[in-house]
Amino acid sequence: MGMTMTQKILAAHAGLESVSAGQLIEANLDLVLGNDITSPVAIHEMEKMKVDGVFDKNKIALVPDHFVPNKDIKSAQHCKCVREFAIRNNITNYFEVGQMGIEHALLPEKGLTVAGDVIIGADSHTCTYGAVGAFSTGVGSTDMAAGMATGKAWFKVPAAIKFVLKNKPAKWISGKDIILHIIGMIGVDGALYKSMEFVGDGLQYLSMDDRFTIANMAIEAGGKNGIFPVDDLCLEYIKAHSDREPVVYEADEDAQYDEVIEIDLSTLKPTVAFPHLPENTKTIDEIEQAVKIDQVVIGSCTNGRMDDLRIAAGILKGKKVASGIRLIVIPGTQNIYLQAMEEGLLRTFIEAGGVVSTPTCGPCLGGYMGVLAENERCVSTTNRNFIGRMGHITSEIYLASPAVAAASAIMGKIASPEEV
């Protein structure tokens, strides 16, 4: 029986000729990731294990990004814990303030994730690295601790769904619209513990930033991971960012899939996920009554990359944010921040009436830099819109692409880029 791309990667890292869906395996890890919220728990668990250091100081990445720069004493203590652990174990890939960024934007940029890798991270959106042809998935902090100590992790081999993306998307359709469309179609548990494998001629029209966005939100459909084939664009990206040699795996022609879903990208329209689940989607032309808003956030590990900022700035240039609307823009990494500055994008955001933050997860999880008050509404390029996710339990989050978010900031309501 043939194997999917994910199954081939897992088989290789388990030292097996083949694996099948549902099989339990122990796989060697290429990278173990943690942030300032999840790492302290893992560090304390490692202390209980009484192990002598980490398995490989070069294969652990510690990225303080959720509450950094520290917003209060508790977050400062968490970061101190991570910092001291990194120093104590001589961790190569510890990223202090000034070098850090939002973890899932930072690690590919630093060349730490390449095709063929097996990566675990104590953050649910670790599935982002499937965009470069890696198997990557989120785990709990105790699994992170075991990974840091042993360099291994247990997995149940996932079954898979194949998504065949066909044709060229329209002008304003981005990776965010595509993944919101998919989640709206299959639901937040539609790919539960399955690999979401994206193929088709439509991939040629998707930038790497689009692919990172789609893989990032595989977890919002319940997926174990999302993954893309390694094409020329992917190889160019890896070569530009990493000195490691990628290992390319391809699904067998007779690989088994639970479902094969075809999506005609040319028919998609700008899509918004209404409260309080990512599956509660509507296309922009299905919104019958004006949805007035209070805040717009453009950033996060989902949409804080250069493509995202360029698209938003292109819409905002020469225009003003509507009266009473707060626009918060958060570049994903220091390099993205610098490049956006050099291209004049930050000036565009500020002149439009927005504010630009240092790289941080910030408001995405209701941390800081944009927490919502009672009954406030926010259009956000983040990945979750659960009750209370960005603040008060009566606040509402509408997930959208950077294009829709920028247009909404100008209009003061959820709006299509065509309207501005």
Tens-digit pLDDT profile for residues 55-95? 999 999 999 999 999 999 999 999 999 999 999 999 999 99
Quick: pLDDT tens for 259-295. Answer: 999 999 999 999 999 999 999 999 999 998 999 999 9
- Contact criterion met (CB below 8 Å) for 413 and 294: no
pLDDT score, position 379: 98
pLDDT score, position 51: 87
pLDDT score, position 389: 95
DSSP sequence for 222-284 = T-SEEE----HHHHHHHHHH-SSPP------TTB--SEEEEEEGGG---EEEPTT-TT-EEEG
DSSP sequence for 292-328 = B-SEEEE-HHHH-SHHHHHHHHHHHTT--PPTT-EEE
pLDDT score, position 317: 97
What's the CA gap between 192 and 221, in Å, rounded?
7
Task: Give pLDDT tens digits along the chain (420 positions).
Answer: 899 999 999 999 999 999 999 999 999 999 999 999 999 999 999 989 888 899 999 999 999 999 999 999 999 999 999 999 999 999 999 999 999 899 999 999 999 999 999 999 999 999 999 999 999 999 999 999 999 999 999 999 999 999 999 999 999 999 999 999 999 999 999 999 999 999 999 999 999 999 999 999 999 999 999 999 999 999 999 999 999 999 999 999 999 999 999 999 999 999 999 999 999 999 999 998 999 999 999 999 999 999 999 999 999 999 999 999 999 999 999 999 999 999 999 999 999 999 999 999 999 999 999 999 999 999 999 999 999 999 999 999 999 999 999 999 999 999 999 988
Closest CA relative to residue 104, chosen from 131, 79, 73: 131
Topology (CATH) of 5-263: Aconitase; domain 3 (3.30.499)
pLDDT score, position 50: 84
pLDDT score, position 76: 96
- Contact criterion met (CB below 8 Å) for 211 and 177: no
pLDDT score, position 1: 80
Residues 6+ apart with CB under 8 A from 227: 5, 6, 130, 133, 134, 135, 195, 196, 197, 198, 215
Where do the structural domains in the chain lie, given as residue ranges? 5-263, 272-415
Mean pLDDT for the chain overall: 96
**CA 16 to chain CA mean position, Å:** 30
**Which residue's entry shows tokens 């599935």?**
127
What is the CATH code for 272-415?
A: 3.30.499.10
Residues 6+ apart with CB under 8 A from 237: 108, 132, 208
What's the CA gap between 81 and 118, in Å, rounded?
26
What's the CA gap between 283 and 293, in Å, rounded?
17
Asked if domains 5-263 and 272-415 share a fold, the reply is yes
pLDDT score, position 24: 98
pLDDT score, position 214: 98
